[in-house]
Structure 1
Amino acid sequence: MEEEQQIIGRGTWIDKLADELLQREKSLGRKTDLIRVESGLGASGIPHIGSLGDAVRAYGVKLALENFGYKSELIAYSDDLDGLRKIPEGLPESLKEHIGKPVSFIPDPFGCHDSYGLHMSSILLDGLDKLGIKYKFQRGVDTYKNGLLKDQIHTILINSKKIGEKIAEMVGQEKYQEVVPYFPVCASCGRLYTAIAYEYLADEKKIRYKCSDTTIGSKPLKGCGHEGIADITKDLGKLPWKVEFAARWNAFDIRFEAYGKDIMDSVKVNDWVSENILNFPAPTHVKYEMFLDKGGKKISKSLGNVLTSQAWLRYGTPKTILLLLYKRITGAREVGIDDIPALMDEYNELENIYFGKIKLDNETKVVRSKGLYEYVNLLNPPKVQKPYVNYRLLIQLCKIFRENRIPLVTKKLLEYGTIKESSSEVDEIITLAGNYADDYDIPTKVEIEMDDVSRQVLGNLVSILSSDQEPADLQNTIYQIAKDKGMQPKDLFKMLYQIILASDRGPKIGPLIIDIGRKKIASSISEYL
């Protein structure tokens, strides 16, 4: 039990992971003057919150290492020499002719970048920039063009028989017992996956290949029949994932890389290749679960159920994405835009704990909450607390005021005493909540414990709110309904805040109900009865 209470660094899973990494590096006796962490960025489809998560979490480990006094950098590796396997949902059918070609040689269907691959990478990098993540960008196409992996490729190819047998034994894939684990780009048709390498001429560092029919996923892809020889030091080609990670780790001296459970087999094989073929200890890993959409399906570039950081930031702050990703790493999570109100309020709660406005009894929880807040602020927390307004209150107000929204909502907040003065920070949250109110209207239903008395009291209140006669003083009327039934008025107020704002507190309840609309609130309360 003692062991569990021991606090490492700032008390989060990120610190624990960085500490394990450091202990391992010391036991391996490796130099730690610069510890590189890596995140692989797919460039074959529209990047989503999950793709971003890989880099953001690796950056968290980099921050923790720096916090422990070590120099560290994040390599954001874009796999833009990868071939296009299928057309992602929502993208033009004209991409069909480019299936199997490296994504960096496919024209950008949106017309704004040099290639399809660069377009997709740029969306992800834009997301990282908006979150304040610092990285060194490394393109796959440059890595291969500049021969940065040529020694590793040579070592892998002279051991291809041994590797093929090991892959079959470890994960049951037998294809690399027949073919050499390398895809040249066919000199005739420019495709990658159809160029099947069948012999490595080690002395000349050249690959013999034939562009043959193959299947990608379960779909057939025709080869052009060209037979050629490719030079691994000069001609373009790439290693398959089953061995490429290992080559990268060795070439860039990578000490940490997280991975999603969908590529678990590839990582297992790469660890073996790294240690047994390239004599390079595999990086420390952490496996994370995939994000699911609200229907429980894996968020995926090809399925088109993509939730991008750009879409998210229309409604929530960058801090809410960082909180979502740094809260925890284990467990599959359904994630959607409707999580934003809760994350906005959760961030505020962490801030209140950090600045001592909320006191917790459990010291370990205080340390962890403060540590999480610091990581969400990329270990550069603000010196003073910024003004915050309950996000669900703002959604309700933004539904009332659609025109001239910011000044009118601000005026209400000043009347309620929720804020003392207007500010650019409050304007920003009103804008986000306004976008949410305009695009989504998903009422949040929280679990509320009710006894017979509170049901009666709420029933009486519904009758008064539904009547055409407006009470002279609604605040006092609500107070009196509770008193008459022997219920504490503060308990009734709390219940109403939970129903209206999914929160335990809020502005003065009478004016709030009048502003939102008595009949609308009556209908919301009725759903709980």
Structure 2
Amino acid sequence: RRQALPSACRNPASTAASRGRVLYVPMKHVDAKAGTITFDDEGTETTLSITGGRVKLQWKPDFGMRWAALGVDFEMFGKDHQTNAVVYDRICNILGGRAPEHFVYELFLDENGQKISKSKGNGLTIDEWLTYAPTESLGLYMYQRPRQAKKLYFDVIPRAVDEYYTFLAAYPRQDWKERLGNPVWHMHDGNPPAIDMPVPFSLLLNLVSASNAQNKDVLWGFISRHTQGVTPATHPELDRLVGHAIRYFDDFVKPTKTFRPADEVEREALAALDEALGALPADASGEAIQNASLNVARRIERYQDHSKQSPEGGPGVSGAFFQMIYQVLIGQERGPRFGSFAALYGVAETRALIERALAGQLA
């Protein structure tokens, strides 16, 4: 007669003896004192020790027996295990243990909203994430909203990186109530590091895209010119992000970049933007560049948003204006605040990019 728990053992020794086949067989004898089980391995009686990691339980009994053996008092598991939790608890209790407190988290989904599965290969591994972003960004992604289903694919990485450094920058300015609600307090055991991050990851990605940088030196040339006193030596964390940005761009952004030509209205808008930038000093701030861009868009009917109001009382600016700029100049659907990008890339370089677009050299 098959006994419930011992027969659930997967026997690696019998697997080897059976040329790679896993046996599901009844136990002929269980010697609890000796820690052995006896069973027939395709006609050959075999006695095997179950201690020392020599056997592996099927996943259902493994939960409860592990809790009892290790004294587990808190267990997180995915929503797909929730219906079996009563079985895990019962096994643990039968063995004299006390079932732990449960925390059930939602499933991770791919970009199409389908459950991530190792067998399907539609997921994103930890090693893949850490190739393109710091460990802390993954920690933040895992920490936030555990009871909400989350999409886990490559496009979420840049946002997670910038969110982490945003939380980190906010921490010193917060009171204790706000700090306790800040994820970095929990991620760093109440002692978050003091890191100055003058350039967001999303902005680095656009800088790589515009400059076609293949190494860190090219990007650092732009960064050091824009932010005085910032070098790889003074800002090693930023230097780490620069390397991540180049790898991420090469593998995910560059293959999908699609420039499009500007239509007549867009050509006039870009020419006006070029003229406005030409009136600014070479070291114009991101805010000055952003305001000059908005002034250009406010005069063009296509980009007027009458649901908004400009400082002068006229219509505001539609987001379609900046989307056009990124599509035509960068080959991407969207980007960070244009003024910040142009200030970092350089006024002269941005004007040269516009000139190339108008000459048909990009699309």
TM-score by length of 2: 0.70
Q: Report the counterpart of residue 465 of structure 1 in structure 2.
A: 270
State the partner residue of 1:215.
Answer: none
- 1:196/1:210 contact within 8 Å kept: yes
CA distance in 1, matches of 2:8, 2:123: 31
Is 2:23 the partner of 1:194?
yes
Per-residue deviation, residues 421-470 of structure 1 (Å, max 9, x unmatched): 223332221111111221112889xxxxxxxxxxxxxx966523169x95
Q: 1:25-45 CA distances to partner (integer Å, 9 max, x unpaired)?
A: xxxxxxxxxxxxxxxxxxxxx
Distance 1:504 1:289, change over 3 A: farther
Taking a change above 3 Å as real, the CA distance of residues 203 and 376 of structure 1, as seen in their structure-2 partners, is closer
Q: Quote the Cα distance in structure 2 between the aligned partners of 1:495 and 1:518.
A: 17
Q: Report deviation, 1:345.
A: 1.6
Deviation at 1:307, TM superposition (A): 1.7
Q: Could you tell me which of 249, 268, 289 is aligned with 1:437?
A: 249
Q: Give the number of equivalent residue pairs.
A: 314
Alignment of 1:394 with 2:204, yes or no, is yes
For residue 285 of structure 1, give the secondary structure of its aligned residue in structure 2. Answer: strand
Distance in 1 (alpha carbons) for counterparts of 2:338 and 2:276: 26
User: 1:192-271 counterparts in 2 under 5 A?
Assistant: 193-202=22-31, 206-211=36-41, 224-232=42-50, 236-271=54-89
Q: Percent identity?
A: 23
Q: Name 2:7's counterpart in structure 1.
A: 180
In the TM superposition, residue 388 of structure 1 has moved relative to its aligned partner by 3.4
What is the aligned partner in structure 2 of residue 426 from structure 1? Answer: 238
Unaligned runs of 5+ in 1: 1-156, 165-175, 212-223, 445-458, 523-529
Structure-1 separation of matches of 2:147 and 2:351: 42
Q: 1:508 to 1:294 in 2, by over 3 A?
A: closer
> How far has the Cα of 1:420 moved from its partner?
4.1
Q: Quick one: distance in 2 between partners of 1:188 and 1:287? A: 39
Which residue in 2 is equivalent to 1:410? 220
Write out the 4+ residue segments of structure 1 that deviate beyond 6 Å after TM superposition. Answer: 493-499, 519-522
Matched, 1:316 2:172: no
Alpha carbons of 1:508 and 1:403: their partners in 2 closer, same or farther (altered >3 Å)? Answer: closer
Cα contact 2:298–2:317 (8 A) shared by 1? no
Contact 1:497 1:505 in 2 (8 A): no
State the shift of 1:326 in Å: 0.7
Query: How far apart are the structure 1 equivalents of 2:295 and 2:30?
Result: 91
Cα distance change, pair 460–373 in 1 and its aligned pair in 2 (3 A): farther
> Helix, strand or coil: the match of 1:314?
helix
Name the CA distance, whole Å, in 1 between partners of 2:148 and 2:190.
Answer: 25
The Cα of 1:273 is off from its aligned counterpart by 1.2
Determine which structure has greater relative contact order: mean sequence separation of CA pairs < 8 Å that are 6+ residues apart, divided by chain length: 1
Any gaps of 5 or more consecutive residues in structure 2? Answer: 258-263, 281-291, 301-308, 327-333, 359-363
Name which of 334, 340, 355 aligns with 1:506: 340
**Residue 481 (structure 1) shift:** 2.6
Provide the aligned C-alpha RMSD in A. Answer: 4.2
Counterparts of 2:155 and 2:53, CA distance in 1:
48
Cα distance in 2 between the residues matched to 1:415 and 1:495: 30
Instruction: Indicate the SS of the match to 1:180.
Output: helix
User: Relative to structure 2, which stretch is displaced further, 315-324 or 372-381?
Assistant: 372-381
- Report the AA paired with residue 89 of structure 2: D
Please state how far the C-alpha of 1:302 moved relative to its aligned partner.
2.3
Equivalent pair of 1:341/1:391 in contact (CA under 8 Å): yes
More displaced 10-residue stretch of structure 1: 425-434 or 241-250: 241-250
Deviation at 1:320, TM superposition (A): 0.7
